[in-house]
Structure formats: structure tokens, C-alpha cells
Chain A
């Protein structure tokens, strides 16, 4: 099977879905001529024309709200918000409109809408281009939250998101666009939303992770293996709905858990995962659940400062060592 990178995988997913379903269209800032800041929509303008590839003015509240209006009247928009930090500009539409309109209407309508955006930790872009806000969106009922780590998952999850009749916030990771390579089928496939994936089998400790942190978790697992500790790496893939079954199955088997995430620790994804484990698998635990996460500050610019707040492979190894007694 051929190998492509995460960016190409996403680009293929968009192309295939636009070719498959004429209701699918893309809109966002700079997505036309230059194919988006990271080239995810590259080639779409040439292939599908300016009627289905809409360059928007800088107005996230406007075009994300317009995506909702289009979604409930027969189209399937895929909006790109250039950086996840800019999600603040359209939070009202996401929080009060997109997530609620189906429920408030008593289920009268479907909202087949995808908002793609990107997290950018580790690029020295400082605090306003560098959020990992998925936990904020997880807290809103009515949204599906997707966070792929591999090219295979990126393509399959984006295709599933576009076909889903519900609003999906799709968090990409810019660090992965060109570094993450892997086998991706050429034939049509989807990765269903709401299913986690065990990226590495192990018996001694479960590392729960998602998005770019999956790679640090896998690296940590290799280092631990050299010490005789076999870590299982669970990639959540979809944060909402969260796959409790896969998570709890792994936790019950290993009895030890470390959560590795690249957002701030306080009130984060790890906090929710920990709570689920405490509520549903406490009796299986041999040690307290530990979290490895970013420090609770906005992301600083200067490289040594940014590095200092980011969780490292060594941090994950240390946490696993602590719970697994190695």
C-alpha cells in the first residue's frame, strides 16, 4: 500500500467527498487560490470551481453561521477556520446555534456541517495561533469532536465527518501535516466517529492519548519496553462521543493509567477521561491516574519557554514509571 502524509490524506478526503456528493462544498479564508494555509484544500478550486470552493472574507462568525444556514437547507458545508485560536471569533454560532438548533427544534432538522481547524503547538506562533481548545468544545452537548493522529485516521475520519448528519468540529494538528506519514488505501473507506483505536498493545500500563501526543506516547512506550514495561497506547481519535468501551477495556486490563494530552491540564480532556475511569473502573485501578499535559498558561513565544510548558516523552515515561512501579 502507498504511503502518504497527513496533509495529503486530508486533501484526498475532501476531493473524494466533493466528487461523491455535489452538496459538499468548502469555504474559509485563503482556501481557494493557495489551497489554505497548509494546503489541505489545494487543487479543489481547479477541480470543482469557485462555486464550491468559496474564499471568504475574514469573518468567522459570518461564514461559520452561513455554513449552518446552508447545512439545514440541503447542503453539506465544510468550513475551514484557519487556526483553532480563531474559533473564538465564531464561538457564538458554534455554542448557541450550531450545537443547539437540532435539539431546540425537537429534532426537526439535521445539521450536516463540518468545521475543520488546526492546533499548532510547537511552532513558536505564541498564544493567539496556538490553542488546543478541544476540551472547551467537548463540554458543549450537540457537537462531535474529532482529533485524528495518523494519515489513515485523518482521511477516514474526515470522510465519516462529512457524511455525518451532525455538526463535527474536526481538529487537525499542523505539526503532523508533513511529518506524519503512513499507509492510506486508495479505495473508499471511513473510520467511524466515536471509536478509539489501540495504537500499541501492552499489558502493564495504559497511555491514553489523541492527536499529536499519540506519537509521544508511542515513543514513550518504546523506551518503557526497554525497561520491561509494556505500555498500551489508546488513541481516542474522537473526543465526543468518547469511546468508553475501548478506554475502559484497556484500563481494566492494565490497572494503571497515564493520560497524555497537549492542552492545559486544568479542566481538560484528561480530567474528563480520569473522571470516567474513576466512575466506571475504580476497582480495577492499582494506582492513581496520572495526567501529563501542558502547563496552565497561554503558549509563550520564545522557544525555551514554549518547550518548558509542553509535555515531553520523558514526562510520559516518568509518569508511567510512577504508576507501574518501574
Chain B
């Protein structure tokens, strides 16, 4: 899990670098500071389980097994990208790893995950499906309709709310009267669990229980992870709207530092071992960068491919 969180962190740092070099179009929303959620949840999943991510989706994809080199190539619009350059940062998709898609629309992955869970149930597999979304998504109809359907049909779905308390510039307290969003689960007759989303062990443990529950056919759960947004909504966001102490507090809750401190204290890891793990990951990301930079852009006319599947 440490390795997986570090991979996301180093990937995002590299993404910021290439973005600031102008090698990435569009916008970049990084997952820095929230790594414990995706990793804590996905470490309980199999390759054939399904996840749907958010517009801040790199972490979900990497944690579920997407290759960092083709991810970075996608962000840089290359032909070798996961989606041949048609998706980009907000829409990275890797069906071979059960990744049904990062999503540019807040909350829209939720009904899709409900359908994947329905399909798993209909096909008689024990696959589970996980939707990641932010606190902002819980105000959308897709959240309410999706959770209601999943509960009604006892589907093997897990709804993971990454409660970072900001919807771009609007704080959560100005979007909902609720402090603890897990209480929303009771409206649908499903359990709601709240956990410290900066604490990877807490997330992993809570997710293990709800994933096992879903796999046993006992139905969906809403898992709310309190996780700070360490950076702006997107790169370049000056965050003028954000109180300084909120940002400072977010930075102090670094999940990677948290796990490192814990493991060092418990004698599970030495400083040297940490450095070696980190070095290997930095190396992997450098190779991913080399791969992406050297990859060609798609031919312009490829813009017209992939709209429809051939009738067979």
C-alpha cells in the first residue's frame, strides 16, 4: 500500500511537471493528499472488480492497476495513451483492469457502477463494483438514484465518498447542512461508515469489511472518507478563497507520511528501505515519462475512429 500511494504521488508530481512545461493540454486535477482512499479501497479488490473514478481520477486508476506509462502518455495526448489520446486526464479508462472510467461529470459514475454491480449479480459472479466520488456529488440526483437502486436490488456495490470539503471554491458547509455524509446511507436502507481518509490502515480495514459484505451478496455500503485536498481544485488554482489554516491542516495530514511514521515506529520499515522503495518508484515514473515523451501523437484523422463498434 505504501508503494501504491507513492506511485500515485510521484505520478502526480510528474504530471504537474509536464503540465507546467506545457506538454499537457486541458486541466490537471491531482490526487495528491488523497492517496489513502483509492489505495485503501483498491487494495481489497481483484482485477476483475469494477471501479469508476472522478475527474480527479489518476489515483483511482493507478491504484486499480492502470500502467503509469500509458496513463502519462494519455495525459500527454499520445497515441500510446490508455485511450489513444481521446480521453485525457479527466477520462482515463482501462477496461482490462476493471476501470470503467474516470469521469468529467461529478457523480455520473455512480449509476454506471450500479449497472456493473447489477450485471455481476445477474451473471452470477462474485465481482464487486466501486464508485468513487466527492462530497459535492452527494448533492446530485445520480447519487440518490444510484444508491436507492443499489440498496433496493441488494447489489454488490460500494460507494466511496471522498469528502475533501471543497467543491472548487465552495466549502461543504455551504452545500449541505450535514457534517457527516455517511448518514445519507440511512435514507436508502444501507449502512453508512465514516473513516479518516488520511489513515490508510483505517481505510483499508473499513473497505475490507464493506467489500467482503458486498461479495457475500449482502448489499451495498456508503463509505465516507474524510480526506483533505492538499492542492487547489486544479493546477494553477490560487485558492484565494481558502483559509490559510485549512490548507496548512491539509498538508499536515499527508497519508504517506502518516503510514511511513507508523511503519518506522512499529519497526516494520527502516529509513533506508523507504528510500529504496521510493527510488524504485521514481525510476518507474521517469521511465513512464520517457515512454510518454517519445510516443508519437495520433494521426489527425484518427479523430474519426472508435465512434461505433462494427456490427457483428
Contact = CB atoms under 8 A, between A and B. Distances in A.
Given A74-B123, A106-B306, A141-B307, A64 B86 contact: no
B115 A67 contact: yes
Q: Which of A54, A65, A71, A110 has the most CB of B within 10 A?
A: A65
B116 A105 contact: no
A144 B307 CA distance: 11
B311 A142 contact: no
Q: Which of A54, A102, A104 has the most CB of B within 10 A?
A: A104
Interface in A23-49: 25
B189 interface: no
A73 B116 contact: yes
Interface string B57-92: 000000000000000000000000111111100010
A304 interface: no
B298 to A, nearest CB: 9
Contacts of B91: 104-105
A72 interface: yes
A54 B118 CA distance: 11
B11 interface: no
A69 B142 contact: no
Contacts of B308: 102, 142, 144, 166
A59 interface: yes
Interface stretch (A89-97, A122-130, A212-220, A283-291): A89-97
Contacts of B138: none
Interface string B230-273: 00000000000000000000000000000000000000000000
Interface in B105-127: 105, 108, 110-120, 122-123
Contact of A57 (B103, B148, B310): B148
Interface string A65-104: 1111111111101000000000000001100110001111
A69 B148 contact: no
B82 A70 contact: no
Interface string B138-162: 0001100110110011000000000
Given A61-B142, A105-B95, A108-B95, A69 B115 contact: yes
Nearest to B123: A74
Contacts of A107: 84, 305-306, 309
Interface of A: 25, 51-52, 54, 56-57, 59, 61-75, 77, 92-93, 96-97, 101-111, 141-142, 144, 163-166, 193
Given A25-B122, A62-B146, A70-B115, 12 more contacts: A59-B149, A63-B145, A64-B111, A73-B50, A92-B108, A93-B142, A104-B83, A104-B93, A106-B84, A106-B86, A108-B94, A111-B309
